[in-house]
Structure 1
Amino acid sequence: MNSQPTLMNTRMLMDATRDEALNIKKLCGGKQTVDMSDISQLHLNLKNILKIDILHDFTSLVKLDLFHNLIEKIEGLDSLYNLTWLNLSYNKITKIEGLDGLKKLEVLNLSNNNISRLENMDALQNLSHFLVANNLIKDLDNVLYLTRMKKLYELYMVGNPVSDGEEYTLFSVAFLPKLRYLDDTLINIEIREEASMKYQQQLHELAKRKNQKQQRTEAENAFVEDIDGSSLFNSLFKDNPEVLRPHCLPEVAPLLQTLEVQMKELCLHLFEVGLAEHRCRQTELRSFYSGQNEVETFYKQKTSQILAEFDEQRTQMAAESKNLEDINQSEVKIRSFSDAVVPQLHNSLLKVAFELLGNREENIKTFDDAISAMVDDFVRTSEKTFAQLRDLEELYHQNVNKIVIETLEKVANHNEEGAIPEDVMRLFADQDSVKEALATSHKARQLKMDNRENQLVRRVRAWKSAVIAEIKENELRQNHMHMSDINRYVQYQEATGGHFRVSI
């Protein structure tokens, strides 16, 4: 291990990748240069590294070993989106962070650090092996955090304060149903049944909370949260003391009750439509990606067929040139093959690539049209519903206004008939303030409904725009990769006279 703390540098990375670079060159028939993006494994253990840095070009990296360094913060990993194995054990890390881009990560080793809390790992849905031994984790709530890791197969937490507790083993087994190994223990049926029995009630409550959270999340994704039931109605009259004045009148109570019932019915309908539309949009999105994958598979099959035919021609050419006694004639034959057949190969591959591009762009346009129609339909339904809600509130306001005016007239006449209680008389003594408060409350309710409608429309349209933009961006990147693969392969064949086959 180096005696002095150090930072990552180009020389260090070149030394660490030298062996794999040589192997890649051999596989590629002597490829002159190897890019950082070609490297799949990187071992930088025992280097006294202080900071994770300059790894942004290692986009093909699958395995990263930073064991036994001086790293204090998890950072600089955003571009390593193909990483499946990460070892950061024996460092000085105090907080789990910086892992959001590692969606393919399966193995994570954070043992022997200074971590006291499990957090910021929601993106790691493919995590199957998590090692976090010999840290500072104390509470069983950290085990509950891991329940979001649906594929967690092995958990190694020995050496933490939490692992010394009597409930640690059964609690972990109960709340992590996919777990097969806990520390050094193989979880058998007997342990699983004992854990389930002991925490049966807590498991039921957890499942209930998860279901409620899932429902809330679905409503948010459908842009109709806080619209179900009386939520919107309650928000209109919440924190508005001015509404208390008319509400003290007995004639207003049934009007308010009617308004709540009618608004609740409309809101519930919009809520259910929103959920249904959301599910339809998700189905359309899955269908689109399925179609794109089918097109991609077809393209790969056609490409493989073209390359197989090229291989057959190359093999035949190699056999014929081998039978020639004159080496010059053999070289001429190889060159003639390269000059004639390789351009044909290039054209054939480009033709298939452009067919793929055309089919995928057509799929994108079809999807865009379909999803736009769905969003427009939902927007129209929402606008119609909110128009009805505003009409209901307007009618309520007019009726209440009429009752208030009649009351004010009675108050102005000094309540000659004695029909108005004294406390009501005092509330309605100032006619101007009562009328102003009534108008202000009405405008505030209308504004709240306008804002909620605008929020819904804005969010659903923004979602559609973001989805289409992401699809087009991914399409552009894939097209670039396809063309680059074809050009590299053909250039290699031209340089070698088609003598070697390189997989692209």
Structure 2
Amino acid sequence: MARLYDAIEPEVISMNMLQHAVEALRADGENLVVPKDEKLNYSEVSVLRLDFRNILRMENLWLFSNLTKLQMDNNIIERIEGLDTLQKLTWLDLSFNNITRIEGLDSLAELTDLSLYNNRITTIENMDSLKKLNVFSIGNNQVDDENSIRYLRRFDNLRTLCLRGNPFASKPDYYVFTISHLPQVHFLDYKLIDDAPREEATKKYEIQLQQLITLEEQEREKEKTTEDQTKQYQLYKDAFVENMDQSQLFQTMFKDDVEGQKLILVPGSDELMTQFEQKFNAIVYSMFEFGLKEKEIRDHEIEDFWICVNEAKNENTRLAAAIVDEFKTYRLTLFVSQFMDFFS
């Protein structure tokens, strides 16, 4: 694919471009959340079309914090960027650009539909946060790697996939390999996958799939262990007792203690040093347990505080409503009294 901006002038996403794009959609009734007669507020826009505008860089999109649909196809974009604040995005179209690498999607946890059709991408990667991905189009790229197909196994919600037009899709076993390795996908290259061909494909790659499943289970176990350790460390950190549950504190302090290092060289000091370390660690561990108990007490106090705050809010709301009702009754009584006096 030729570098399109060699023949045309690249554009930037200016405030003027954004304003015209939003107003055009509002005129068409697509951004109904922003009424036509109200002042334009970018944070209320849910749909944005920036296609066919010769855009080179993705920028100034942070204004659209409630955006759910972004269309930027048929531009000359080379890099996926500037999407960190679009955490509500569910639909993203970046097809027909010059993108060479999948990146910049970490914050798009709500994304269900992604199109990267007709770019220059060679590897499917960096999409781990897209747990809800349902439709993925990456046809007409440069993907030529079985590992890219295996990578898509992690997306349990993926149902529709387009890979045609990639070098890998031209290989003889492309279809059989893909439908056997991606059992969650129902539509491949816009065609429904029948059960019979999938069963045959699964049998053909049975041994490979069993090995792959075993490796995936091991990897998930490692990830779970890492996640548990991270949560535990965060708990200790919140309690201000991190690295105090074992001997890390002593080892760290002793390592930087020049005089302490000299004591090790004194004959017969080994036993004394062992006893000192045991006593030191025992004291530190008691502090560790105390810190965890204090954190638990603080958590209960904070919880009770917010319960009281919410109860106070509810009570004040009730009292305010009673005062309003009382005023309405008084106003009605006064109106009736004055009306009767007027006609008497």
- Report the TM range for the smaller structure's normalisation: 0.5 to 0.7
How far the C-alpha of 1:171 sits from its partner, in A, is 1.9
1:10 aligns with 2:15: yes
Secondary structure of the structure 2 residue equivalent to 1:144:
helix
Displacement, 1:451?
A: 11
* Counterpart in the other structure of 2:219: 213
CA distance in 1, matches of 2:167, 2:77: 23
Which of 173, 181, 185 is the equivalent residue of 2:179?
173
Among the aligned pairs, what percent are the same residue?
A: 31
Q: 1:363 matched to which residue of 2?
A: none
1:439, distance to aligned residue in structure 2 (A): 8.5
Does structure 1 retain, via aligned residues, the 8 Å contact 2:144–2:167? yes
The offset of 1:438, in angstroms, is 8.8
Indicate the structure whose relative CO is greater, using CA pairs within 8 Å and at least 6 residues apart: 1
Choose 179-188 or 100-109, whichever is displaced more: 179-188
**C-alpha displacement of 1:455:** 11
Distance 1:103 1:118 in 2: 17
Change (3 A) 1:71 1:454: farther
Aligned match of 1:69 in 71, 75, 84?
A: 75
Q: 2:322 — aligned with what? A: none
Q: 1:161 to 1:223 in 2, by over 3 A?
A: same
Conservation of the 8 A alpha-carbon contact between 2:122 and 2:141: yes
Report deviation, 1:27: 7.8
CA contact (8 A) 1:25 1:34 kept: no
Q: 3-state DSSP class of the match of 1:210? A: helix
Pairing of 1:39-438 with structure 2 (within 5 A): 39-223=45-229, 383=245, 386=246
Q: Kindly provide the amino acid, as one letter, of the partner of residue 13 in structure 1.
A: L
Residue-by-residue CA offset, 1:188-214 (whole Å, 9 max, x unaligned) = 101210121122222222222222222
1:100 Cα deviation from its structure 2 partner: 1.0
Higher helix proportion (structure 1 or 2): 1
> Is it true that 1:21 corresponds to 2:40 in the alignment?
no
Letter paired with 1:106: T
Q: 2:225 aligns to what SS in structure 1? A: helix
4+ residue runs of structure 1 moved beyond 6 angstroms? Answer: 24-29, 432-459
CA deviation map 1:304-332 (0-9, x unaligned)? xxxxxxxxxxxxxxxxxxxxxxxxxxxxx
Amino acid at match of 1:137: V
CA RMSD, aligned part only? Answer: 4.4
Structure 1 pair 438/64, CA: closer, same or farther in 2 (3 Å)?
Answer: same
State the secondary structure of the residue aligned to 1:47: coil
Aligned 8 A contact 1:223 1:456 in 2 = no
1:251-309: CA deviation from partner (whole Å, max 9, x where unpaired): xxxxxxxxxxxxxxxxxxxxxxx8xxx9xxxxxxxxxxxxxxxxxxxxxxxxxxxxxxx
Q: Residues 452, 153 of structure 1: CA spacing in aligned structure 2 closer, same or farther, 3 A cutoff?
A: farther
Deviation sequence 1:69-109 (CA, Å, 0-9, x none): 11111011111112111111111111111111111111111
Structure-1 separation of matches of 2:72 and 2:47: 11
Shift of 1:449: 12
Q: Does 1:38 align with 2:44?
A: yes
Aligned length: 271
Letter in 2 for 1:14: Q
Structure 1 residues 84 and 140: alpha-carbon distance in aligned structure 2, compared to 1, 3 A threshold: same
| Contact 1:74-1:93 within 8 A present in 2 as well | yes
CA distance in 2, matches of 1:198, 1:447: 62
> Structure 2 counterpart of 1:129, which letter?
V
Q: Is the 8 A contact 2:112 2:135 kept in 1?
A: yes
Map of 2:262 onto structure 1: none
Contact 1:81/1:102 (<8 A) preserved: yes
Mark the CA change 1:49 to 1:171 in structure 2 (over 3 Å): closer, same or farther. same
Stretches of structure 2 lacking an aligned partner (at least 5 in a row)? 251-264, 307-344
The answer to whether the 8 Å contact 1:25/1:32 transfers is no
2 CA distance for matches of 1:29 and 1:193?
53
3-state SS, counterpart of residue 214 of structure 2:
helix
The answer for the alignment partner of 1:364 in structure 2 is none
Q: Is the 8 A contact 1:20 1:39 kept in 2?
A: no
Take 1:185 and 1:171, find their aligned partners in 2: how far apart are those partners?
16
Question: What SS does the aligned partner of 1:195 have?
Answer: helix
Conserved 8 A contact 1:152-1:178: yes
1:141-164: CA deviations, max 9, x gaps? 001111111111111111111112
- Distance apart, 1:4 and its partner CA: 1.6
Give the superposition deviation at 1:53: 0.9
Find the counterpart in structure 2 of residue 502 from structure 1: none
Distance in 1 between the 2:33 and 2:230 partners?
A: 55
Code of the residue aligned with 1:134 in structure 2: it is N
* Local SS of the residue matching 1:32: coil
Structure index of larger Rg: 1
Q: 2:25 touches 2:48 (CA, 8 Å); kept in 1?
A: no
